[in-house]
Amino acid sequence: MRNVLIPLALVLGAVGGYLLKSGSNPETDRVGVDESRLAGIERDLETLRAERDELKTALARARGERDSLSAELLAATRADKTAEPVAPDPEPEATDEASVLAKERAERKARISAALKKLRENPMSGLMGGADQQKLAEDIRALGEEGLAEVLALLASDDPADRSAAAMVLMGLDDPATVGPLSQAIMDESDPQTAAMLSQALIRMNSEGAVPALRDAVANSPHEGVKVNSLWGLCRHGDANGVAQALAYYQDDEKVGELRDALGRGALILDTPAAMPLIDAVRKKDAKIPQVMNMVVAYYARIPGQAATDRLAAMANDQDLAESVRQAARTALDKR
């Protein structure tokens, strides 16, 4: 529309200038213009005036068309805003989602590789647990078999540092799918320390599927550290036969004293009622050690039922125990 109005304006301006020029020399009319020439000029003026009027009419018509088009455009714009949105093409969106997922998987793989490298360099750093270990376990679970494969590859490595690193990762993973590989690695392990670390991963599993592997380790592992850890794991699961074996081990004077104490005192942190016979034996053996006796009180306090209540009452009235221990037992009784 703007291209139409510009030439119209130019034509009207030229006509106006010509009219102004033609009507601005009265002296010439008086001095020597004959009648015929004057008549011709007047006719030309009339023609120009007619053309001017036509141009004005065309200009008005063009402005009307412009206003009409502007109104239609405004109405169409408002209609677009109130119309139902058009569903986007799903293909680009799906492509974007796939790219995001691929990037996320790549980032998880990179974090897993970095964490495993750190553990290979210093396996004991995994004992700190915390947010780093939780994040590593989360990444491995998110990748499923692909994430677990790298850990299991370390478990099968010839390098003890790799196997120790795998043990540290598996301690925080609690994945039933690792029971079989862990059990096999424990039985094949020649290094006592690495074997004990691997058994630590097994005893921390909540799955009942770990119980047969723990029994196998108790019966067949050549390493005492593995046996003690596995007995503790069976007590944690409330396995009656495992508790009986643990009690027998604890009371066996032929066994290494440090390992016996590790088993008995380690059981004090459990909340398994089935472990009570082992706790009773610890209470009898370590009666003169207040710190241990306070842990015994805490164990009984966590266990519901009359059997635990009776034991707390006995400790509260036992004159051979430190007063701090007896007071702890009385406090626990008051809360039951």
Q: What does each of the 336 residues of the chain score in pLDDT, given as a tens digit?
A: 433 333 333 333 333 333 334 444 444 444 444 556 556 666 666 766 777 777 777 677 767 777 776 766 666 666 655 555 555 555 555 567 888 888 988 998 999 888 888 888 876 665 545 677 788 888 999 998 888 998 999 999 999 889 988 998 998 888 999 999 999 999 999 999 999 999 999 999 999 999 999 999 999 999 999 999 999 999 999 999 999 999 999 999 999 999 999 999 999 999 999 999 999 999 999 999 999 999 999 999 999 999 999 999 999 999 999 999 999 999 999 999
Q: Which two tokens stand for residue 61?
A: 């018509």
How far is Cα 125 from Cα 325, in angstroms, rounded to an integer?
36
Side-chain half-sphere of 221: how many Cα atoms within 13 Å? 31
* Residue in the structure block whose two tokens are 């630590």: 200
Asked whether the beta carbons of 192 and 225 are under 8 A apart, the reply is yes
What type of residue sits at position 247?
L
pTM over 0.85: no
Per-position b or e across 211-227, b if 16+ CB within 10 A of its CB: bebbbebbeebebebbb
Asked whether the beta carbons of 268 and 298 are under 8 A apart, the reply is yes
